[in-house]
Amino acid sequence: MNTTLRDAIERILPRVQTPAAYMGGELNSVVKDHRQVRGKLCLTFPDTYSLGTSHHGLQVLYTLMNDDPQWACERAFTPWLDFETELRRAGLPLYGLETFTPLHQFDLLGFSLQYEVCYTNILTMLDLGGVPLHSKDRTFDHPLVIAGGPGAQNPELLAPFIDIFVIGDGEESLPWLMDRWMTLKERARAGGISPLRSRADAIADIVGHTTWAYAPMFYEPEYHADGTLAAMHRTRSDVPTQVMACTIDQDFDDIPLPSKPIVSFVQTPHDRIAIEIMRGCPWQCRFCQSTVIKRPLRVRSVETIVQAALESYRNTGYDEISLLSLSTSDYPYFEELVNRMAEVFEPLGVNVSLPSLRVNNQLRSVPKLMKGARKSGLTLAPEVARDDMREQIRKKITNDDLYEGCREAFKNGWQRVKLYFLCGLPGERAVDLDGIVDMAEHIAHISKEVTGRYKEVTASVSNFVPKPHTPYQWNGMQTREYLRWAGDYLRKRVRLRSVKIKQHDIECSLLEGILTRGDRRVAPALEEAWRRGARLDGWRECFQPQLWWQTFADLGIDTAWYSQRSRPMTEVLPWDHVNVKKGREYLEKEQTRSLLQLEVMADAT
């Protein structure tokens, strides 16, 4: 424990909001003596403590690494603006919560890339932690900086800052990588090799002995005269030309769930136990990146889930359990699981929530199955409201299932419904926007029929961003003007007071489009925006869109070229050297089918 730093931090905490977020010591956190372990790593989550602590993946990897006696695994999160200011004013570093160890003293830092708009937070954490921003400036005296998660599917924008990107499942890749890095680091120290040279060689050794690790320092892009990518060239022959995802190939039941999740002292968005019941999704919606990168489908047994939930309850005291997956109601033993959870947890007064319900015929039975659950709100994601658009995005649901599921929910005491939709999809028409409002109002009318009064129905509309490794990766994003028009159109169409339209911040979506689809040439703008004060961009009260647009303009970056330009399928994409489960050929086939469906829709119109 670095008591000197801890005491200094305690002196500045009275001047910041939520000081408990910076003190550690939570129930089930793990504190190890660094002198008794072989290596130490820090899971560095590039967002606030409240969001990072709620992230299930962080809890999984934290438990996994600390269960191994040779490692000490700690956590660090992006400080809020006030705490960053106080750290800089006092000249204090960002640190791991468990022992107040500065980030630059860890052997490895692991960033989880969940949302591209949070990328400036990575630079904040590295800088505050005393770690050089650029990989080329680090030696063996600095931590290995790695990153994984959905954002790693297009690693190029962060290429200057990350040593190694880990593609795929972390449960197998992180322990292997930590062991390999420490072995190479120990050899380098024992042999007296030049730290700068040996560090690069060590990183090359790691990526050369795996299929799922990508070190951008060993790859150099070549561009055509028109700015498009011509090729990605290796700068040394001992690193792979293609990167494949790490996939857990053992029985999913054998991958342990965290039975002692950390219980925060402060309120977080998900103050509950989270149990991942299934990884992957049986469906293949064309807009969804997760269903592509999480393949193949893997499930846990009912009894494994129940026992893990029961053990977590005993170790936390939480009164709610959330059953997680991309599509929980598609779990193959869904009814058995829900009944078994009710049998065990209803007598204990513990609520079971299902956050990812698919709209299908099983939705009609969910409200009856969940008779012991809190009846606050039902959340569903129809994405679109018309059948021909559903065919185009490959979201195979029916309105009858949706309406009957909502009817049963109102009968069984549910008080409101929240619907998630996408705006700006390829081929979108005014009638598709009409359908969003019509669907929300129809559900409100159903609530009136069932309960005698209109219940609240919210249509939450996200602005569509074409993601890498989806069939829509060649499509462009809609313009600012269109998205503003669509939002206004939806709000003006609403006739019932109980129906609300909420559109995601358009400027934030436009920035996401650039950071999601950008290449290495956008990286200087990311760094420059951060140096000009961009911080915590995923938070409305912190986001400064004009700062970003001015930075892009000053650096001569054509934002529309990256985010709004449709790309031919012959074009080499910045992320093509990172392979997904079914490969580019599958994505091309699905994009071609989508284009044919768009022609059918246009002819019908």
Of 22-36, 264-278, 359-373, the least confident: 359-373
Which residue has tokens 């990588």? Answer: 177
pLDDT tens, position by position, 455-483: 999 999 999 999 999 999 999 999 999 99
Average pLDDT over residues 380-403: 90
Q: Which amino acid is at 30?
A: V
Q: Which one has a higher pLDDT value, 496 or 370?
A: 496
- Asked if the model's pLDDT at residue 362 lies above 80, the reply is no
CB-based contacts of 475: which residues, under 8 Å, 6+ apart? Answer: 426, 466, 566
Of 53-67, 546-560, 586-600, the least confident: 586-600
Which pLDDT score, from 0 to 100, does residue 369 have? 66
**Predicted model pTM:** 0.95
The C-alpha atoms of residue 95 and residue 5 are separated, in whole angstroms, by 9
What dotted CATH number matches 3-168+170-234? Answer: 3.40.50.280
Task: For residue 478, give the DSSP letter.
Answer: P
CATH class in words for 252-511:
alpha beta
Average pLDDT over residues 6-28: 96
DSSP helix/strand/coil, 115: coil
Which pLDDT score, from 0 to 100, does residue 330 have? 85
Under the banding of pLDDT at 50, 70 and 90, the label for residue 249 is: confident
- Distances in Å between the Cα of 267 and the Cα atoms of 63, 272, 581 are 21, 11, 38
The C-alpha atoms of residue 241 and residue 222 are separated, in whole angstroms, by 15
CB atoms near residue 13 (< 10 Å): 16
In the chain, % of residues over pLDDT 90: 74
- Asked if the model's pLDDT at residue 364 lies above 80, the reply is no
Average pLDDT over residues 146-158: 94
The C-alpha atoms of residue 494 and residue 512 are separated, in whole angstroms, by 28
Nearest to 383 by CA among 358, 350, 409: 358
- DSSP assignments along 224-250, one per residue: -TTS-EEEEEESSTTS-SSB--B---S
Q: Which amino acid is at 210?
A: T
Say if CB 573 and CB 567 are below 8 A apart. Answer: yes
Task: Delimit the domains of the chain by residue range.
Answer: 3-168+170-234, 252-511
CB-based contacts of 508: which residues, under 8 Å, 6+ apart? Answer: 117, 537, 538, 540, 543, 545
Which pLDDT score, from 0 to 100, does residue 95 have? 98
Say if CB 459 and CB 421 are below 8 A apart. Answer: yes
Angle 356-362-366 (CA atoms, 0-180°, nearest 5)? 65
Q: Is 226 exposed, middle or buried (0-12, 13-18, 19+ CB in 10 A)?
A: exposed
Nearest to 275 by CA among 348, 341, 336, 360: 341
Average pLDDT over residues 556-582: 92
Q: Which one has a higher pLDDT value, 250 or 92?
A: 92
- Asked if the model's pLDDT at residue 196 lies above 70, the reply is no
DSSP H or E segment with residue 526:
helix 523-531
Which pLDDT score, from 0 to 100, does residue 489 have? 97
- DSSP assignments along 172-201, one per residue: HHHHHHHHHHHHHHHHHHHHT--HHHHHHH
CB atoms near residue 349 (< 10 Å): 8
- Asked if the model's pLDDT at residue 496 lies above 80, the reply is yes
pLDDT tens, position by position, 294-332: 888 899 999 999 999 999 999 998 999 999 998 888 889
Which pLDDT score, from 0 to 100, does residue 192 have? 65
* Cα 275 to the center of its chain, rounded Å: 17
Which pLDDT score, from 0 to 100, does residue 582 have? 72
pLDDT tens, position by position, 259-277: 999 999 988 888 899 999 9
Say if CB 547 and CB 532 are below 8 A apart. Answer: yes
Which pLDDT score, from 0 to 100, does residue 25 have? 95
CB atoms near residue 582 (< 10 Å): 14
Say if CB 297 and CB 325 are below 8 A apart. Answer: no
Which pLDDT score, from 0 to 100, does residue 361 have? 62
Q: 3-state SS of the chain: helix, strand, coil percent to 5?
A: 45, 15, 40
pLDDT tens, position by position, 540-558: 999 999 999 999 999 999 9
Strand-pairing partners, residue 278, are: 299
- Asked if the model's pLDDT at residue 87 lies above 60, the reply is yes
DSSP H or E segment with residue 382:
strand 377-383
Pairing outcome for strands 164-166 and 213-214:
antiparallel
Q: At residue 458, what are phi and psi to the nearest 5 degrees?
A: -115, 130
Sign of torsion over alpha carbons 360, 361, 367, 373: negative
Q: Order of strands across the sheet with 39-45?
A: 71-77, 39-45, 108-112, 144-148, 164-166, 213-214
The C-alpha atoms of residue 41 and residue 146 are separated, in whole angstroms, by 11
Pairing outcome for strands 144-148 and 108-112:
parallel
Average pLDDT over residues 339-350: 91
